[in-house]
Amino acid sequence: MRPPEIEVIAPNLKRRLSGVTATVVRLIPVQSRMIGIVATGPGLPPDLPHIPLARALSLSRSRWRVWHARRNTEMVLGLIARRILRRRFRLLFTSAAQRRHTGLTRWLIRQQDALIATSPQAASYLERPAEVILHGVDLEVFHPATDRAGDRRALGLDSDTVLIGCFGRIRAQKGVDLLVDAALRLLPSRPEVQVLFTGRITPDQQAFADELKARIAAAGLTRRIRFLGELPWPDVVALYRCLDLFAAPARWEGFGLTPLEAMASGVPVVAARVGAYETLIRDGVTGSLVPADDATALTAALQRWLDDPGARAEAGRAARGHVAANHGIEAEARAITAVYRRLLA
């Protein structure tokens, strides 16, 4: 069977796993059922539709294609391909950043044929019209547990504990220290509760992580506030299903996909009012929203859900329903593909 014509190229110019890479990896399999799309760049899973970068930059000039960048480097390469290599690329950029862009980024954005923003807040910083398309999650990958005890056994977790999860790189931006502060206040009187952090500790954040671990050890809670490191993706997906509560206390965030993944897994979320969290979370229904950088408010919100298992279970069901109704990945893929088709028309 002849492979479909390549109509869209999604570059990923970063070898290490990041939020942008995760977006490319989860979207392209869905989009490939809608349009001829491939990724290009290093560090991509072998089963993802992709082509070598050299081939992406030497495709025939017989038709227009979309170059869908999500980083500055990818916008630069798209411009080089079009202006120097004379490739027939329509340039598209997706922005999640919620801050004033640098002069270089603003110039690159002005060269694009179209823009997508992942939230209304991100769109407000682009200084050009953009289509707002919220991220979605794969509801077949992220779903509530059918055998939570079995899932916990498979991951070496206790079956009778109440688990709070926080996933992402270990750094101050993610508010990891705020959750540690809250846990140090809450856990001494709640012996059934544990907190699990996953994510990489980069060398520049090692001192930050070591200081937190020293505080935890001084409180005698090392076995109950745990840093699991960077886990294989299947284990992360399974770990969501094992949780009772998810925390996203970031000080700032571009979009922030982990609360959606947790809610799709039937887990209520306590999150700071940053990124797109206010758009994603129904305060008091699918979890709680708290002011950013406020450990006291975070502690109170976690306490509410920890001390009311019935409300927590109801919020988990509501969270799954909310994501299923509003934030499925199919809707995101269709909306982005519609932008591709307009650019190619």
Distance of CA 213 to the CA centre of its chain: 25
CA quadruple 122, 104, 75, 255: dihedral, nearest 10: -20
Residue written as tokens 């690329």? 89
* 3 within a domain of the structure (yes/no): no
Check: CB of residue 313 under 8 Å from CB of residue 243.
no
Q: Is the pTM of this model over 0.85?
A: no
Q: What is the CATH number of the domain that holds 24?
A: 3.40.50.2000
Token pair 């329903």 in the structure block, residue: 321
Of residues 4 and 144, the one with the higher pLDDT is 144
Same domain, 173 and 302: yes
pLDDT confidence tier of residue 16, bands split at 50, 70 and 90: low
Residues sharing a CB contact under 8 Å with residue 333, sequence separation 6 or more, in sequence order: 27, 30, 31, 34, 136
Residue (of 282, 277, 271, 275) closest to 319 by Cα position: 282
DSSP-derived secondary structure for 101-112: PPHHHHHHHHT-
Q: For residue range 119-130, list pLDDT tens digits in order.
A: 888 899 998 999
Of 22-31, 51-60, 312-321, 334-343, the range with the lowest mean pLDDT is 22-31
Average pLDDT on 149-156 reads 92
What is the distance between the alpha carbons of residues 249 and 309, in angstroms, rounded to a whole number?
Answer: 21
- If asked whether residues 93 and 220 sit together in one domain, one would say no
pLDDT at 25: 85
For 290, the domain range is 148-326
CA–chain centroid gap for 162, Å, is 24
**Token pair listed for 132:** 């707002």
| Domain count along the chain | 2
187 lies in some domain: yes
Q: What is the pLDDT of residues 49-80, one digit of tens each?
A: 999 999 999 999 999 999 999 999 999 999 99
- Asked if residue 320 has pLDDT above 80, the reply is yes
